[in-house]
Amino acid sequence: MGIQGTRRTSISEKVGLSLPIFEVDCQIGVEPLVGYGPAAVTRAGTATYLNKVSGLVATHGANCPRMENKGLLLEGAATNLATRSEEFDHADWTKTRCSISADAVVAPDGQTTADKLVEDGTAAATHFITRSFVGLADNTIYTTSVFLKAAERTWCAAAFWDKAGGYTFRYFDLANVVAGAGNVTDYGIEAVGDSGWVRIWVSGDSSAGGGNVRIDFNLADGTPTTTYNGDGASGFYIWGAQVGAKAVPTSYIKTVAASANRATEAGYPTWKIGGAFSRQGLEGNFRKQAGTLWVMWTPGFAYDDLPDPLDIGCVTVRDDYASVIYIQRSGAHGYFMSFDGSNPSRYVTCDFAAGTTYFIALRWWNARICAPSDDASATGLQVGFSDDWGATWTWGTRGNFDGAFTEGMNIRLHYANEWPAHFGKIRLWRRCHPKINIEAF
């Protein structure tokens, strides 16, 4: 059961919104602040996340939600194909004109297990650690990531070799947490905690041919370039390599002698729709005939990372992704969508980007008596979003509403969605509100 309180009352009254019948702040937990609970979270096995307080890579057990600074992390199953992910001194990793000083400093998980990659004294040469992968699928996107920390060398060049011998790369400035020059098109860098660690990643297509997929992590000087005079002592710190058949990086999965898996969370957490408790004495967390939904969503992927076409879940009230709010990639654009079960889906075009936080809103009504004050249409279904923390909003065209969403038993997040995303605050009202009020919240 949720708790009664007045945490949002003054804000709601200020902008003319009634109190929500369901509210959860997934940045702090999954139990409803308002409405009917408890939440059900299902994930088989352990999974890592970035602890909000310590900034460290931490591990949660089965069925435990993972709250990070961006919100509740949800993602599909994944496999790390890079064995010995924290043991770069192992023979699985080939060292070229460099060596490994094992367990040299404290790693992103707080343990002293991070290695140092140290260049040798060869002049006018490259210095790198590499790994080949035999038997990977043809024409498949793979993403490699690794945690790095600047030492005497503050630049790294990460390279991806495909089966046909094609080579793409990207430089990364570890000290300033920015990407540099290169020809790989899908890449990223982000700070991890406050101790100087970053996580970098690059993606590439395996292509087809007689070779193997290969990844390189190159030491680079400050020019930056990978061909320079080594001094036999300089390097950077390295920990937690990961390679998987994904178009974007996922949470870290440790490996030892064999590849390792993480189970899916797609479709969770869930909250029962029915229930005798709410702030207004109404039954249940969702009113299917009329209402307003507001959700904070931060994808770990861009719209053009998705296959074309693809529909994936965001917020649903039945065991189907295409319900209250879902995400679509179709052709050259991304969309936030809603489907009432019979009328054509309503949408708003949004070419969403990885790491950007979006406020997504949906309003629906099945009769003029339920209509918002800014639209006197007999029925309505309309989707809108903001990508600048509510400063400006974009709304799609209103469509007809068939009278009620088709309900199942639960409110679900991320249903049938294998792509990583974070959820923040989620609010449901039993009234359809005018856009001006929604935008002001």
Q: Where are the beta strands (DSSP E) in 12-140?
A: 22-25, 39-40, 47-50, 57-60, 67-68, 71-74, 78-80, 94-96, 98-105, 114-119, 128-133
**Domains of the chain and CATH, by start:** 9-75+265-440 (2.60.120), 79-262 (2.60.120.260)
Cα within 13 Å of Cα(309), Cβ side: 6
pLDDT band at residue 17 using 50, 70 and 90 as cut-offs = low
Quote the CA–CA distance of 212 and 116 in Å, as a whole number.
26
What's at 21, amino acid-wise?
A: I
pLDDT in tens, 53-83: 999 999 999 999 999 999 999 999 999 999 9
Give the residue, 12 or 308, on which the prediction is more confident: 308
- How confident is the model at residue 1, as a pLDDT? 28
At residue 275, does pLDDT exceed 70?
no
At residue 6, does pLDDT exceed 60?
no
pLDDT in tens, 179-188: 999 999 999 9
pLDDT in tens, 396-424: 999 999 988 988 888 999 998 999 999 99
Give the residue, 361 or 8, on which the prediction is more confident: 361
Nearest to 267 by CA among 320, 345, 205, 342: 320
pLDDT band at residue 124 using 50, 70 and 90 as cut-offs = very high
Stretch (H or E) spanning 167: strand 167-173
pLDDT in tens, 342-385: 888 999 999 999 999 999 999 999 999 899 999 999 999 999 99
Mean pLDDT of all residues belonging to the chain: 92
pLDDT band at residue 24 using 50, 70 and 90 as cut-offs = very high
Which residue bears the tokens 């707080």? 110
Question: Alpha carbon of 53 to those of 28, 67, 147: distances in Å?
Answer: 12, 11, 19
Quote the CA–CA distance of 366 and 185 in Å, as a whole number.
46
Phi-psi region of 84 (alpha: psi -120 to 50; beta: other; left: phi over 0): left
Quote the CA–CA distance of 170 and 181 in Å, as a whole number.
6
Percentage with pLDDT > 90 across the chain: 82
- How confident is the model at residue 268, as a pLDDT? 80
What's at 410, amino acid-wise?
A: N
pLDDT band at residue 4 using 50, 70 and 90 as cut-offs = very low
Rg (CA), the chain: 24
Other Cβ atoms closer than 10 A to 337:
23
Percentage with pLDDT > 70 across the chain: 94
Q: Are 240 and 249 in contact (CB under 8 A)?
A: no
At residue 277, does pLDDT exceed 70?
no
At residue 279, does pLDDT exceed 50?
no
How far out from the chain centre does Cα 330 lie?
Answer: 20
Overall average pLDDT of the 229-258 stretch: 98
Full-model pTM: 0.93
